[in-house]
Amino acid sequence: MFQLLNTILIGITAGAIYSLMATAIVLVWRSTRVINFAQAGMALLSTYFGYEAMVHFNSFWIALPVAMVGGAAVAALIELVFMRLLVKRSSTGPIAAVAPIIATLGLLGLIKGLISTFWGGADVRLVGPVTNIGYSIGDKTLAFSPLKLLTLCTVVVLMLLLTVLFQKSNIGLSLRASAYSPEIARLSGVKVDFVRTLGWSLAGASGAVAGMFQTVNGNGAFSPESIEFSLLLISGFIAAIIGGLESLIGAVIGGLVLGLVVSFVLMYISSSLFFIAPFLILLIILFIRPQGIIGVKAARRG
């Protein structure tokens, strides 16, 4: 019973972080129809920004916004310099469909390489604002700590903010219209190019939060090759795919489903299935619904 509760709590916290990463991937997909494999690399870079801020100001609450702003800026820069060129240069020809995938993979390698060059490959540490020691119930320790509570709250608040932004504001309407039909958006006066950059920045900021919390929820140490970030890369991506790529709510559901199922598999079947479990979950879900849980049948292009 106690173990079951712990499994659920671990799954939900992990899932919340995956949701955030999946949200970043969905935001980019919706604004430029590109699956950004470099998203985890950008999140890693933002976490290093956060780390630098932490070194200077010694406060997580300064580090977090620094990471977010840094992540947003990097994302905007990549969209401006790189994606626009990519769309212009390789939107035709036999590899048009795979060129963006390959290009963002290259970007992932480039970002990781640059990070290793600047900060080195060794672990650096990031400490959370509150303790990660679990709450106690009687003589047992729950797998749920103040830090995990904070993680959940942050994710919920961010997701609510994003939802309000998307559903209730003009910016949100521009973002959605540009995603569904860039041409009609343009004819209605939306500056679609700017909106795309904005979509990327939002994604960069979400990824930064995911990176920061993924790190402090782990053992606090991270490096370009750390397992936390491989996990973030793969899980955020799988969560986005499970959720169907098109909606924020899909990203949240995808993240939670993935987090919970992986947590149960690790607890009750085998802990060495760490990396293969997400793959099997993805395969099963895509076998039932090839377009994801909340996906549209044919992906729209344009």
Partner 1 sequence: MDKLKGANKLGLYVVSGFILFLLGNRVDELRVYQGASIAVFVVAISSIILLTGYSGQVSLGHGALMAIGAYSAVISRNSFHTPVILTFVIAVLIAAIGGALLGAAAARLSGPYLAGTTLALAIGLPSLANQFSILGGEQGIFFDVGFPPPSLGEGFTQYKWFFWIAALAALISMWLVANILRSRFGRNWRAGRSNETAAALSGINVSRSKILAFTISAGVAGLAGALLSMTIGIVSPSAFPLTLSFSLLTGAVLSGVSTLSGVMIGAVTLVAIPEIADAVATRIGVSERLTTNLPGLMVSTLLILTVLFVPNGPVEQHRTRQARKAAREKH
Partner 2 sequence: MTLTVNELTIHHGAICAISDVSFTVPKGQLTAVIGANGAGKTTLLRTLSGLNKSTHGTATWNEHNLLHSKPETIVRHGVSHVSEGKAVIPELSVVENLELGAIWRKNKKEAAESKAAVTDIFPRLGERLNQRADTLSGGERQMLAIGRALMSKPELLLLDEPSLGLAPLVVEQIFQTIRDLTTTMGLTVVLVEQNAMGALKIADQGIVLNLGKVAVTGTAQSLIADPQVRAAYLGY
Give the footprint of partner 1 on this chain (CB under 8 A). Answer: 29, 35, 37, 82, 85-86, 89-90, 93-99, 101-103, 105-110, 112-114, 116-117, 120-121, 230, 234, 237-238, 240-241, 245, 270, 272-280, 282-283, 286-287, 290-292, 298-299
Residue 173, binding choice from partner 1, partner 2, none, Cβ under 5 to 8 Å by partner class: partner 2
CA-derived radius of gyration, the chain: 19
**190 lies in the site for partner 2, by CB under 8 A:** yes
Give the nearest distance from C-beta 118 to partner 1 in angstroms: 8
Number of amino acids touching partner 2 (CB under 8 A): 17
Distance of CA 178 to the CA centre of its chain: 21
14, 24, 67, 192: residue in contact with partner 2 (rule CB under 8 A): 192
Site for partner 2 in 156-185 (CB under 8 A): 170, 173-174, 176-177, 180-181, 183-185
Cβ atoms < 10 Å from Cβ of 8: 17
Give the nearest distance from C-beta 157 to partner 1 in angstroms: 28
Give the nearest distance from C-beta 182 to partner 2 in angstroms: 10
Distance of CA 69 to the CA centre of its chain: 15
Half-sphere exposure of 299 (CA within 13 A, CB side): 17
Two structure tokens written together for 54: 């932490």
Site for partner 2 in 230-289 (CB under 8 A): none
Two structure tokens written together for 81: 């310099």
Q: Which is nearer to partner 1, 50 or 292 (CB)?
A: 292
Q: Which is nearer to partner 1, 81 or 137 (CB)?
A: 81
Residue 280, binding choice from partner 1, partner 2, none, Cβ under 5 to 8 Å by partner class: partner 1
**191 lies in the site for partner 2, by CB under 8 A:** yes
Q: Using CA atoms, how far apart are residues 211 and 222, in angstroms rounded to an integer?
A: 10
Two structure tokens written together for 278: 């997400």
Q: Which is nearer to partner 1, 2 or 275 (CB)?
A: 275
**187 lies in the site for partner 2, by CB under 8 A:** yes
Residue 185, binding choice from partner 2, partner 1, none, Cβ under 5 to 8 Å by partner class: partner 2
Two structure tokens written together for 144: 């749920």
Q: In degrees, to the nearest 5, what angle opens at C-alpha 253 toward C-alphas 163 and 38? A: 80
Q: Which is nearer to partner 2, 176 or 264 (CB)?
A: 176
Q: Using CA atoms, how far apart are residues 9 and 200, in angstroms rounded to an integer?
A: 31
Contact by Cβ (8 Å): 225, 121: yes
* Burial (CB count within 10 angstroms: exposed 0-12, middle 13-18, buried 19+), residue 120: exposed
Q: Using CA atoms, how far apart are residues 113 and 223, in angstroms rounded to an integer?
A: 12
Please give the residue ranges that form the binding site for partner 2 (CB under 8 A): 170, 173-174, 176-177, 180-181, 183-192
